[in-house]
Amino acid sequence: MTPIDQLNNLTTNSLLFAVVITLTITILLLLYNNPFRKQLVIELDQLKTSRAVKLVVTTLIVVTMHIFYGLFDDAVDSASHAYLVLQVSLMGFSLFLLLTIHNVHQYIKEVVMVTDSINTAWKQNQAYEESMKISAKEANLIRTKISCLKTEITKLESRCNIKEQELQSKRADCSALKNQLEGLHAEYDRLLAYSEDVRDQLRNINESISHSSEKEVVSFDEEKDRSEKTGSWPWSRWGL
């Protein structure tokens, strides 16, 4: 192995170690709560949608497979073989760390979604409890109003009973007055009939008196004419 190959291998190994350390730090930042995790999740969301990152991962997989197949080449000396084993190990571990970051990132997103759902449900539960408290207060107010209305209804029923009793008493009084009025009408009719009878009797008496008076006048005139003819007046007949 030439010194240039050794330098290239050292540079590649240093770069791979830096990648492994960076990926490890990224995993630690994702696993533990810290001020950088939220921003890191946002950056990973943007990187996962980038085509460049997908291209880098694909290239890393291809290079790893190429180096892995190079291990079985008989022309490679022991020192180069050791470097290749180290590089394959670092690349494989880097791929494993990338897969771990992907899974942790997905897990964190799901946890965030579940946490948001829980917070939303908790807020809804709080709002529901508040509404239930308000509903309970309103229910108590409604119960109080119902109790007051029942008391008022009881008072109105008692007043209605009193008014009904008064109405029945008034009806009884009206019935008694009606009976009295009917009695007075009957008495009035009886008195009216009696008055008619008395009038008829008086009329008959007057007629009889007037008839007898007419007879006496006629008799008096006849006697007068007779006396004038005879020249004498029968005073004894008239009680004189």
Amino acid identity, residue 102?
H
The sign one gets for the Cα dihedral 100, 102, 108, 110 is negative
So what's the pLDDT on residue 235? 47
Counting Cβ atoms within 10 Å, is residue 70 exposed (0-12), middle (13-18) or buried (19+)? Answer: middle
DSSP string computed for the chain: --HHHHHHHHHHHHHHHHHHHHHHHHHHHHHS--TTHHHHHHHHHHHHT-HHHHHHHHHHHHHHHHHHHHTT-TTS-HHHHHHHHHHHHHHHHHHHHHHHHHHHHHHHHHHHHHHHHHHHHHHHHHHHHHHHHHHHHHHHHHHHHHHHHHHHHHHHHHHHHHHHHHHHHHHHHHHHHHHHHHHHHHHHHHHHHHHHHHHHHHHHHHHHHHHHHHHHHHHHHHHHHHHHHHS---GGGGT-
So what's the pLDDT on residue 219? 56
Question: 93 pLDDT exceeds 70?
Answer: yes
With cut-offs at 50, 70 and 90, classify the pLDDT of residue 87: confident
Higher pLDDT, 183 or 223: 183
Question: 103 pLDDT exceeds 60?
Answer: yes
So what's the pLDDT on residue 76? 63
Counting Cβ atoms within 10 Å, is residue 100 exposed (0-12), middle (13-18) or buried (19+)? Answer: middle
Q: What is the mean pLDDT of the chain?
A: 79
Question: 238 pLDDT exceeds 60?
Answer: no
Higher pLDDT, 64 or 93: 93
So what's the pLDDT on residue 191? 85
So what's the pLDDT on residue 34? 82
- The gap from C-alpha 170 to its chain's centroid, in whole angstroms, comes to 48
pLDDT (tens digit, 9 = 90+) per residue, 19-68? 889 889 988 888 888 888 888 888 888 887 777 777 877 887 887 787 77
* Average pLDDT estimate for 121-143: 84
So what's the pLDDT on residue 129? 83
pLDDT (tens digit, 9 = 90+) per residue, 215-237? 555 555 565 566 555 655 454 44
So what's the pLDDT on residue 230? 61
